[in-house]
Amino acid sequence: MKRWIWVLAIVSLCITQPSVQAAKKNRAYWESTGDIVWDVHTKKKWIAFTFDDGPHPRYTKQILDILHKHHAKATFFVVGKRAQQYPHLLKEMQNNGHEIANHTYHHPMMSQVNMEKLTKEIQLTDEVIHGITGKTPRLFRPPGGEYSEKVVQASKNGNHLVIMWSWTQDTKDWSNPGTEKIVTNVCRNARPGNIVLFHDFGRNRTQTVQAVEKIIQTLSQEGYKFVTVSELLSERPRWVPTKH
């Protein structure tokens, strides 16, 4: 009887151990390694707007105009294929002091690409951005916000840091929930060091455009400054951007 108890205990340990290891690699695990960022702890009332999936000839331009009007900065996680189509928008981002970051070349699902393919997606987008702006991005956001060891390693292969967004600052603007709902969500949950997720490509992004201006007006009155993700990261001592 004792022998069977020991056998069951060993089998149980073998089965559960991998799960325990996997469970550690959640947000807490990756934040502890410094390889993925969701928020930046700071006392400064700084907040970073990020825009995924563009550029779009209409909506990205409208967002750039609003940001310029209010002297606000943002980070654009661009898709390489679309960046090639609208290089003038990347140049405008650069000229206005915004940050341009990597969001893959074709926007594939992370679960459907291997390490080699993902590394190539990131590399191609780096080449496109560098060809247009003369600078290589150092931030990467995986499509769909899917993170894993594969994503982190592919990002490191290109000397990138993986950037997510604050869990309370997913605007879900891709679903067109209504301008006021987007505004309320961002403003109600705004905290120093937040990273806010918007999209400037996809369906009709009019709600996003309208919400961005209202949010800037509201949070400006509360003392917030709108900065790029790298500016926000300057409050995070362990991360030092590579200069090119």
Residues serving a catalytic function are: 52, 199
Q: Which amino acid is at 187?
A: C
d(CA 35, CA 156) in angstroms, rounded, equals: 9
d(CA 185, CA 172) in angstroms, rounded, equals: 10
d(CA 205, CA 161) in angstroms, rounded, equals: 28
Q: What is the CA radius of gyration of the chain?
A: 20
d(CA 244, CA 134) in angstroms, rounded, equals: 9
Q: How many helices (H) and strands (E) does the chain have?
A: 10, 8
Written as six digits, the tokens of 105 are 């070349």
Written as six digits, the tokens of 5 are 């108890």
